[in-house]
A = this chain, B = another copy of it.
Amino acid sequence: MSRRGSLVVTEVRRRIMLNELAPGAVLTELGLAAELACSQAAMREALLRLEGEGLVRRAGHQGTTVTDLDAETAAEILDLRRRIELRGARRAARRAMAGDLARLVGLQVAMDRAASAGDVWGLIEQDIAFHLELFQIGGLDALTPILARCILHTQRFKLWAPWHHRPLVETAARHRVLIEQLRAGDAAGLSRELALHLDTMVDQASAA
Protein backbone atom coordinates (compact mmCIF):
# COMPACT_ATOMS: atom_id res chain seq x y z
CA MET A 1 0.00 0.00 0.00
CA SER A 2 3.02 2.28 -0.15
CA ARG A 3 1.75 3.54 -3.49
CA ARG A 4 3.62 6.70 -4.15
CA GLY A 5 1.04 8.32 -6.41
CA SER A 6 -1.71 7.84 -3.89
CA LEU A 7 0.33 9.47 -1.19
CA VAL A 8 1.22 12.40 -3.39
CA VAL A 9 -2.35 13.21 -4.37
CA THR A 10 -3.46 12.85 -0.76
CA GLU A 11 -0.77 15.22 0.43
CA VAL A 12 -1.48 17.91 -2.14
CA ARG A 13 -5.20 17.62 -1.42
CA ARG A 14 -4.51 18.03 2.27
CA ARG A 15 -2.44 21.15 1.68
CA ILE A 16 -5.14 22.73 -0.44
CA MET A 17 -7.91 21.84 2.00
CA LEU A 18 -5.90 23.19 4.92
CA ASN A 19 -5.22 26.38 2.98
CA GLU A 20 -1.47 25.80 3.04
CA LEU A 21 -1.80 26.19 -0.70
CA ALA A 22 -4.08 29.21 -0.92
CA PRO A 23 -6.61 29.92 -3.69
CA GLY A 24 -4.92 31.48 -6.69
CA ALA A 25 -1.51 29.97 -5.95
CA VAL A 26 0.20 28.76 -9.10
CA LEU A 27 1.63 25.26 -8.98
CA THR A 28 4.10 23.87 -11.49
CA GLU A 29 4.40 20.15 -12.00
CA LEU A 30 8.16 20.18 -11.75
CA GLY A 31 8.22 22.48 -8.75
CA LEU A 32 5.76 20.51 -6.64
CA ALA A 33 7.36 17.26 -7.75
CA ALA A 34 10.70 18.41 -6.42
CA GLU A 35 9.13 19.52 -3.16
CA LEU A 36 7.40 16.19 -2.58
CA ALA A 37 10.27 14.15 -3.98
CA CYS A 38 8.43 12.49 -6.82
CA SER A 39 8.63 12.55 -10.60
CA GLN A 40 6.86 15.01 -12.83
CA ALA A 41 4.61 12.23 -14.13
CA ALA A 42 3.44 11.32 -10.65
CA MET A 43 2.67 14.94 -9.85
CA ARG A 44 0.97 15.29 -13.20
CA GLU A 45 -1.37 12.46 -12.34
CA ALA A 46 -2.03 13.98 -8.93
CA LEU A 47 -2.92 17.37 -10.39
CA LEU A 48 -5.11 15.68 -12.98
CA ARG A 49 -7.03 13.96 -10.20
CA LEU A 50 -7.34 17.17 -8.22
CA GLU A 51 -8.63 18.96 -11.28
CA GLY A 52 -11.31 16.28 -11.52
CA GLU A 53 -12.23 17.09 -7.92
CA GLY A 54 -12.40 20.79 -8.66
CA LEU A 55 -9.55 21.73 -6.35
CA VAL A 56 -7.21 23.04 -9.03
CA ARG A 57 -7.58 24.42 -12.52
CA ARG A 58 -5.13 23.41 -15.24
CA ALA A 59 -4.75 26.11 -17.86
CA GLY A 60 -2.69 25.36 -20.91
CA HIS A 61 1.01 25.93 -20.62
CA GLN A 62 0.82 28.48 -17.87
CA GLY A 63 0.77 26.46 -14.73
CA THR A 64 -1.92 25.01 -12.52
CA THR A 65 -3.74 27.27 -10.07
CA VAL A 66 -5.64 26.48 -6.89
CA THR A 67 -9.33 27.23 -7.39
CA ASP A 68 -11.09 30.07 -5.66
CA LEU A 69 -14.02 29.70 -3.31
CA ASP A 70 -16.75 32.04 -2.17
CA ALA A 71 -19.70 31.91 0.18
CA GLU A 72 -22.40 31.89 -2.45
CA THR A 73 -20.89 28.95 -4.26
CA ALA A 74 -20.44 27.12 -1.00
CA ALA A 75 -24.10 27.66 -0.18
CA GLU A 76 -25.15 26.28 -3.55
CA ILE A 77 -23.02 23.21 -3.14
CA LEU A 78 -24.24 22.63 0.39
CA ASP A 79 -27.79 22.84 -0.88
CA LEU A 80 -27.06 20.23 -3.48
CA ARG A 81 -25.33 18.10 -0.90
CA ARG A 82 -28.33 18.27 1.38
CA ARG A 83 -30.64 17.06 -1.33
CA ILE A 84 -28.45 14.17 -2.41
CA GLU A 85 -27.54 13.07 1.06
CA LEU A 86 -31.07 13.21 2.45
CA ARG A 87 -32.38 11.12 -0.39
CA GLY A 88 -29.67 8.57 0.20
CA ALA A 89 -30.32 8.53 3.94
CA ARG A 90 -34.02 7.78 3.51
CA ARG A 91 -33.14 4.75 1.44
CA ALA A 92 -30.37 3.74 3.79
CA ALA A 93 -32.75 3.59 6.74
CA ARG A 94 -34.71 0.88 4.98
CA ARG A 95 -31.71 -1.11 3.84
CA ALA A 96 -29.13 -0.98 6.61
CA MET A 97 -27.62 -4.35 7.56
CA ALA A 98 -25.62 -5.23 10.64
CA GLY A 99 -22.34 -4.94 8.79
CA ASP A 100 -23.17 -1.42 7.67
CA LEU A 101 -23.80 -0.32 11.22
CA ALA A 102 -20.56 -1.90 12.35
CA ARG A 103 -18.59 0.02 9.73
CA LEU A 104 -20.22 3.29 10.75
CA VAL A 105 -19.48 2.65 14.40
CA GLY A 106 -15.89 1.98 13.44
CA LEU A 107 -15.66 5.32 11.69
CA GLN A 108 -17.33 6.95 14.67
CA VAL A 109 -14.70 5.72 17.12
CA ALA A 110 -11.99 6.76 14.67
CA MET A 111 -13.46 10.25 14.71
CA ASP A 112 -13.51 10.26 18.49
CA ARG A 113 -9.86 9.26 18.55
CA ALA A 114 -8.85 11.93 16.05
CA ALA A 115 -10.89 14.55 17.89
CA SER A 116 -9.38 13.88 21.29
CA ALA A 117 -5.93 13.85 19.70
CA GLY A 118 -6.59 17.29 18.25
CA ASP A 119 -6.02 15.96 14.74
CA VAL A 120 -8.16 18.32 12.64
CA TRP A 121 -7.33 16.80 9.29
CA GLY A 122 -7.79 13.26 10.52
CA LEU A 123 -11.22 14.20 11.84
CA ILE A 124 -12.17 15.70 8.49
CA GLU A 125 -11.07 12.59 6.64
CA GLN A 126 -13.08 10.30 8.89
CA ASP A 127 -16.07 12.60 8.72
CA ILE A 128 -16.04 12.46 4.94
CA ALA A 129 -15.68 8.70 5.03
CA PHE A 130 -18.59 8.46 7.46
CA HIS A 131 -21.00 10.43 5.32
CA LEU A 132 -19.99 8.56 2.18
CA GLU A 133 -20.35 5.21 3.91
CA LEU A 134 -23.81 6.19 5.15
CA PHE A 135 -24.82 7.28 1.69
CA GLN A 136 -23.57 4.14 0.02
CA ILE A 137 -25.88 2.02 2.14
CA GLY A 138 -28.69 3.64 0.17
CA GLY A 139 -27.37 2.04 -2.98
CA LEU A 140 -27.38 5.11 -5.22
CA ASP A 141 -23.89 4.28 -6.38
CA ALA A 142 -23.78 6.53 -9.40
CA LEU A 143 -24.33 9.59 -7.23
CA THR A 144 -21.53 8.76 -4.80
CA PRO A 145 -18.76 10.58 -6.66
CA ILE A 146 -20.96 13.65 -7.01
CA LEU A 147 -21.74 13.62 -3.32
CA ALA A 148 -18.07 13.11 -2.57
CA ARG A 149 -17.29 16.23 -4.48
CA CYS A 150 -19.96 18.23 -2.67
CA ILE A 151 -18.78 17.03 0.72
CA LEU A 152 -15.19 17.86 -0.14
CA HIS A 153 -16.11 21.40 -1.08
CA THR A 154 -18.35 22.04 1.90
CA GLN A 155 -15.57 20.87 4.17
CA ARG A 156 -13.09 22.99 2.31
CA PHE A 157 -15.24 26.05 2.80
CA LYS A 158 -15.76 25.23 6.44
CA LEU A 159 -12.01 25.05 6.93
CA TRP A 160 -11.41 28.16 4.89
CA ALA A 161 -13.93 30.30 6.73
CA PRO A 162 -12.10 31.84 9.67
CA TRP A 163 -14.87 31.06 12.14
CA HIS A 164 -14.88 27.31 12.45
CA HIS A 165 -14.13 26.84 16.09
CA ARG A 166 -16.58 24.27 17.28
CA PRO A 167 -14.86 21.84 19.63
CA LEU A 168 -13.58 18.79 17.81
CA VAL A 169 -14.97 16.24 20.24
CA GLU A 170 -18.44 17.71 19.91
CA THR A 171 -18.21 17.56 16.13
CA ALA A 172 -17.27 13.91 16.31
CA ALA A 173 -20.02 13.11 18.83
CA ARG A 174 -22.71 14.66 16.67
CA HIS A 175 -22.62 11.60 14.42
CA ARG A 176 -23.81 9.22 17.12
CA VAL A 177 -27.44 10.17 16.83
CA LEU A 178 -27.30 9.42 13.12
CA ILE A 179 -26.18 5.88 13.82
CA GLU A 180 -28.98 5.48 16.35
CA GLN A 181 -31.66 6.59 13.92
CA LEU A 182 -30.25 4.29 11.30
CA ARG A 183 -30.21 1.37 13.72
CA ALA A 184 -33.86 2.07 14.52
CA GLY A 185 -34.65 2.04 10.81
CA ASP A 186 -36.40 5.37 11.18
CA ALA A 187 -36.16 7.01 7.76
CA ALA A 188 -37.96 10.18 8.79
CA GLY A 189 -35.93 10.52 11.96
CA LEU A 190 -32.65 9.93 10.21
CA SER A 191 -33.32 12.46 7.48
CA ARG A 192 -34.48 14.97 10.10
CA GLU A 193 -31.34 14.56 12.15
CA LEU A 194 -29.14 14.64 9.09
CA ALA A 195 -30.78 17.85 7.89
CA LEU A 196 -30.13 19.32 11.31
CA HIS A 197 -26.56 18.12 11.11
CA LEU A 198 -26.05 19.93 7.81
CA ASP A 199 -27.89 23.03 8.98
CA THR A 200 -25.65 23.44 12.00
CA MET A 201 -22.76 23.30 9.61
CA VAL A 202 -24.09 26.21 7.61
CA ASP A 203 -25.21 28.15 10.69
CA GLN A 204 -21.74 27.81 11.98
CA ALA A 205 -20.41 29.29 8.75
CA SER A 206 -22.93 32.11 8.32
CA ALA A 207 -22.97 33.25 11.94
CA ALA A 208 -20.46 35.99 11.35
Report which A residues bind B (CB closer than 8 A): 41, 44-45, 48-49, 51-54, 69, 73, 76-77, 80, 83-84, 140-143, 145-146, 149-150, 153
Partner of A153, one of B49, B73, B142, B153: B142
Q: Which residues of B contact A41 (CB under 8 A)?
A: 41
Residue of B nearest to A87 (CB): B76
Cβ B45 vs Cβ A76 within 8 A: no
Q: Which residues of B contact A83 (CB under 8 A)?
A: 80, 83
Q: Which residues of B contact A143 (CB under 8 A)?
A: 76-77, 80
- Return the 5 tightest CB-CB contacts between A and B, nearest first: A52-B52, A73-B142, A48-B48, A76-B140, A146-B146
CA gap between A150 and B77 in the complex, in Å? 15
Q: Which residues of B contact A84 (CB under 8 A)?
A: 80
Taking the closest CB of chain B, its distance from the CB of A90, in whole angstroms, is: 13
CA gap between A45 and B76 in the complex, in Å? 30
Q: Which residues of B contact A48 (CB under 8 A)?
A: 45, 48-49, 52
Q: Which residues of B contact A53 (CB under 8 A)?
A: 52
Partner of A142, one of B51, B52, B76, B142: B76
Q: Which residues of B contact A146 (CB under 8 A)?
A: 80, 146, 149-150
Q: Which residues of B contact A49 (CB under 8 A)?
A: 48, 52
Cβ B80 vs Cβ A141 within 8 A: no
Cβ B145 vs Cβ A73 within 8 A: no
